[in-house]
């Protein structure tokens, strides 16, 4: 630390000055402060500081102009300037370099890096001032210039091997030595790994001195102190073997201090002219501090590169998996109505046309929408789904369009909406019929003009998205009831697809059952081969208010309970068996006819329970298992509906799923 060094801190914000003061005052520097560009120039002329920490954005005169004026002043021209900026873009850095800045520090500061940079620059500036006043030190000018070149290279390096090679070569030239060694701590094997570079672009491990160099390096690493050993000294005789003295005359070794620990050592061997001096040691220490930080930065950069490459590979694999998952071939069935719909979907997938999908809850509307997206030109971009009916209306607008900080109570930060997330991709608006009229107006503008505005902002944001909408309702019927805008209806009805309910494609039920059995065999690690004939008959005769989703959950539940290799009737829900029996014409002799008042009451109770169960299953299927929505659609009290669900012990998860 140079306790006599004076640093001029120029920042118009008090908090910025206080932060720098807190980091530097304890290091013993004399600190002087300026709050604008003109004051900075005046104080620089008054005190001729050892270093100027110059904020980029200041009133009266910005940092670039201040820097240019200082460089044009013959007295101040060589004062080191480090620009402080919240910006971290290449354009600002190039402009700063053109203005004469020696370096940049980005806010927020890394305390250790700042202190290291300041210590290095102030030391170098002290050298420069001594050189101006003492002709005997003129040779140091080239060293300082070379050191600046090294520091500049350190800041731009992104490859560790290239970085270490440049360090060794330039250090060898700067200090004037025969060999330069870098030892890095190998955490995996717990030893100092030597990297020795003697000739340009060639790595060599020289056995004649490597063992001795390693002993000295180990000591420096363990103690965290520099070591300088010269031939014909007691210290040299104690540490160097007699047979190696012909090749080794002097060693100077300093630790490489990272942000939190010592990561290795930097060593120079055999000075060309004379012996290693205190100035050599101080110069090498200044270099070592910056070299260590650069090595850590490059290591971090390489780790980030590897992580990024891994992420890209995993993302590509995931996208490939998703594309396979949502191929049209994954939509199971050979029913004519279904295959006609798939053929139309394959055609429209190749375009950017808006698509409207009709289908009851559980028929697979989202599966079809994803297949259209994954087989479209937008498949490499996002598919963003949102259920307009499952979200409270007061939150839907923010969810779709996003909001600025402070747009409403609780908006503590900016949020990107689903439209922006889906930019260049596909936005799937499920249950579009439940969208409030005020949002329909905003959606219409997106379709017409391709722009949105976040809540709390008047700024237009351009978006390029494909809209796929879906509904289980008759949209035109909603138009006639003034619940849906007619202009939006025709905007959405560019190309419509209709998914038939499962009751209209019962010929596909056996195929679907076998498909689900194969799927859950893998998930549940079972080897179930199918369902028995009576069970298949029941499953094929049932109408499925919840469509494919309901069938899927029935098979999953049965497979969880199944202990044999075939699913039997007792494993499917009781109401299916009852429903199947009620659809058959049976002989009255098989029906238990009440013979008294008590039996009649019991029969009525059982019939009522069956009707209640059928009612609940139908309304919950139409509401995706949302009790509040089911109560709204049925016009019933939510508490009563919840009580009825509990009475019959229905599992809401059976009805909660995304198409």
Partners of residue 51 on adjacent β-strands = 7
**Segment 620-624 mean pLDDT:** 78
589: pLDDT strictly greater than 50: no
pLDDT value at 587 more than 60 = no
The kind and range of the H/E element at 441 are helix 437-449
Stated as kind and residue range, the H or E segment containing 552 is: helix 547-561
pLDDT (0 to 100) of residue 208: 40
- The more confident residue out of 539 and 127 is 539
In what order do the strands lie in the sheet containing 383-387? 383-387, 426-430, 466-471, 355-358, 495-498
Q: Confidence band (pLDDT; 50, 70, 90) for 287?
A: confident
Distance CA 438, CA 441 (A): 5
State yes or no: pLDDT of 608 exceeds 90: no
Q: How far apart are CA 517 and CA 494, in angstroms?
A: 38
Give DSSP secondary structure letters for 47-102. H--SEEEEESS-SSS-HHHHHHHHHHSTTTTTS-EEEEES---HHHHHHHHHHT--
Res. 182 pLDDT band, cuts 50 70 90: confident
- Summarize pLDDT for 351-398 with one digit per residue, the tens: 999 999 999 988 999 999 999 998 999 988 999 999 998 888 778 999
User: What predicted TM-score, i.e. pTM, was given to this entire model?
Assistant: 0.48
Contact (CB, 8 A) for 194 and 183: yes
**Structure confidence at residue 173 (pLDDT):** 76
Q: What is the pLDDT of residue 322?
A: 52
Q: Where are the alpha helices (DSSP H) in 326-351?
A: 336-349
Q: Hunting for tokens 């139309």 — which residue is that?
A: 344
Task: Give the model's pLDDT for residue 658.
Answer: 40
| % of the chain at pLDDT higher than 90 | 31
Q: Under a CB-based contact definition with an 8 Å cutoff, are residues 506 and 542 in contact?
A: no
| pLDDT for res 520 | 92
What gap in Å lies between CA 482 and CA 500, rounded to an integer? Answer: 27
Lowest mean pLDDT among 63-77, 85-99, 371-385: 85-99
DSSP 481: T
**How many other C-beta atoms can be found within 10 angstroms of the C-beta atom of residue 621?**
21
CA atoms of 82 and 70, how far apart (whole Å): 13
175-179, 198-202, 312-316 — most confident range? 175-179
Looking at residue 150, what is its pLDDT? 67
The answer to whether 475 and 489 have CB atoms below 8 angstroms apart is yes
Tokens for 327, please give them: 């191929």
Total Cβ atoms within 10 A of residue 522: 8
Cα separation, 170 vs 409, whole angstroms: 60
**3-state SS class at 230:** strand
Residue among 101, 89, 291 nearest 182 (CA): 291
Residues 6+ apart with CB under 8 A from 507: 334, 335
Q: What would the two tokens of residue 402 be?
A: 């996003």
The string of pLDDT tens digits covering residues 153-167 is 666 666 677 777 777
Contacts 24+ apart (CB under 8 A), 596-604: none
Q: Are the C-beta atoms of 196 and 217 separated by less than 8 Å?
A: no
pLDDT of residue 586: 42
Positive or negative, the CA dihedral 511, 517, 518, 519 is positive
Q: What is the per-residue DSSP string for 151-203?
A: HHHHHH---HHHHHHHHHHHHHHHHTEEEEEEEEEETTTTEEEEEEEEETTEE
Q: What pLDDT, on the 0 to 100 scale, is given for residue 383?
A: 93
Banded pLDDT at 2 (limits 50, 70, 90): very low
Q: Give the integer Cα–Cα distance in Å for 618 and 624.
A: 10
* Least reliable range by pLDDT among 156-170, 312-326, 452-466, 586-600: 312-326
3 state SS for 378-403: CCCCCEEEEECCCCCHHHHHHHHHCE
What's the gap between Cα 657 and its chain centre? Answer: 27
Residue 594 or 658, more confident: 594
| Residue 59 banded pLDDT, cuts 50, 70, 90 | confident
Per residue in 15-56, pLDDT (tens digit) is 888 888 888 888 888 899 999 989 999 999 988 888 999 888
Digit-coded pLDDT (tens) for 421-438: 999 999 999 999 999 999
Q: Is 413 helix (H, G, I), strand (E, B) or coil?
A: coil
Is the pLDDT score of 349 beyond 90? Answer: yes
Sign of CA dihedral 593, 598, 600, 601: negative
Q: Taking 70 as the threshold, does the pLDDT of residue 324 lie above it?
A: no
Pick the more confident residue, 419 or 599. 419
Mean pLDDT taken over the chain: 81
**Of 233-247, 495-509, 556-570, where does mean pLDDT reach its minimum?**
233-247
* Contact by Cβ (8 Å): 179, 269: yes
Check residue 206 and give its pLDDT. Answer: 43
Please report the pLDDT score of residue 580 as a whole number: 57
């Amino acid at each position: 630390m140079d306790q006599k060094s004076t640093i001029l801190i120029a920042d118009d914000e008090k908090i910025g000055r206080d932060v720098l003061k807190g980091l530097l005052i304890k290091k013993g520097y004399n600190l002087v402060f300026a709050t604008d560009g003109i004051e900075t120039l005046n104080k620089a002329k008054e005190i001729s500081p050892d270093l100027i920490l110059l904020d980029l954005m200041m009133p009266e005169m910005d940092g670039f102009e201040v820097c240019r004026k200082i460089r044009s002043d013959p007295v101040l021209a060589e004062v080191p300037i480090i620009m402080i900026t919240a910006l971290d873009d290449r354009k600002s850095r190039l402009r700063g370099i053109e203005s004469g800045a020696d370096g940049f520090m980005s806010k927020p500061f890394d305390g250790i890096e700042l202190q290291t940079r300041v210590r290095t620059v102030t030391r170098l500036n002290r050298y420069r001032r001594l050189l101006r006043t003492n002709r005997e030190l003129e040779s140091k000018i080239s060293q300082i210039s070379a050191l600046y070149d090294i520091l500049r290279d350190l800041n731009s390096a992104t490859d560790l091997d290239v970085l270490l090679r440049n360090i060794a070569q330039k250090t060898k030239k700067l200090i004037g030595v025969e060999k330069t060694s870098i030892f890095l701590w190998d955490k995996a094997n717990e030893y100092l790994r030597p990297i020795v570079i003697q000739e340009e672009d060639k790595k060599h491990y020289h056995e004649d001195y490597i063992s001795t160099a390693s002993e000295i390096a180990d000591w420096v690493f363990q103690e965290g102190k520099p070591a300088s050993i010269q031939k014909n000294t007691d210290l040299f005789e104690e540490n160097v073997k007699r047979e190696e003295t012909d090749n080794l005359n002097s060693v100077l070794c300093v630790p490489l201090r990272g942000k939190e620990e010592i990561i290795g050592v930097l060593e120079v061997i055999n000075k060309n002219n004379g012996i290693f001096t205190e100035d050599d040691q101080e110069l090498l220490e200044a270099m070592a501090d910056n070299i260590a930080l650069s090595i850590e930065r490059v290591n971090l950069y390489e780790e980030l590169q590897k992580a990024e490459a891994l992420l890209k590979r995993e993302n590509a694999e995931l996208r490939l998996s998703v594309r396979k998952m949502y191929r049209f071939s994954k939509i199971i069935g050979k029913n004519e109505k279904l295959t006609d719909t798939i053929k139309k979907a394959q055609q429209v997938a190749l375009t950017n046309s808006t698509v409207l999908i009709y289908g009851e809850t559980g028929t697979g509307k989202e599966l079809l929408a994803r297949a259209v997206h994954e087989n479209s030109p937008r498949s490499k971009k996002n598919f963003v789904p949102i259920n307009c009916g499952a979200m409270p209306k007061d939150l839907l607008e923010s969810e779709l369009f996003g909001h600025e900080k402070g747009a409403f109570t609780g908006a503590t930060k900016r949020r990107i909406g689903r439209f922006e997330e889906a930019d260049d991709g596909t936005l799937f608006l499920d249950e579009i019929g439940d969208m409030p009229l005020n949002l329909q107006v905003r959606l219409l503008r997106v379709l017409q003009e391709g722009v949105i505005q976040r809540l709390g902002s008047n700024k237009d944001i351009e978006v390029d998205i494909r809209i796929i909408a879906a509904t289980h309702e008759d949209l035109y019927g909603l138009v006639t009831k003034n619940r849906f805008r007619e202009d939006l209806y025709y905007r959405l009805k560019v190309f419509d697809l209709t998914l038939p309910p499962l009751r209209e494609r019962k010929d596909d039920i056996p195929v679907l059952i076998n498909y689900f059995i194969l799927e859950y065999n893998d998930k549940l690690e079972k080897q179930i081969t199918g369902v028995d004939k009576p069970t298949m008959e029941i499953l094929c005769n049932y109408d499925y208010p919840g469509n494919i989703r309901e069938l899927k959950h029935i098979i999953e539940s049965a497979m969880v309970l199944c202990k044999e290799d075939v699913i039997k009737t007792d494993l499917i829900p009781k109401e299916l068996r009852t429903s199947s029996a009620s659809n058959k014409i049976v002989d009255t002799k098989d029906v238990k006819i009440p013979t008294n008042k008590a039996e009649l009451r019991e029969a009525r109770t059982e019939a009522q329970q069956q009707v209640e169960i059928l009612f609940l299953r139908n309304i919950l299927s139409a509401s995706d298992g949302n009790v509040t929505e089911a109560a709204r659609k049925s016009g019933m009290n939510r508490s009563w509906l919840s009580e009825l669900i509990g009475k019959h012990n229905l599992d809401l998860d059976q009805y909660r799923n995304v198409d």
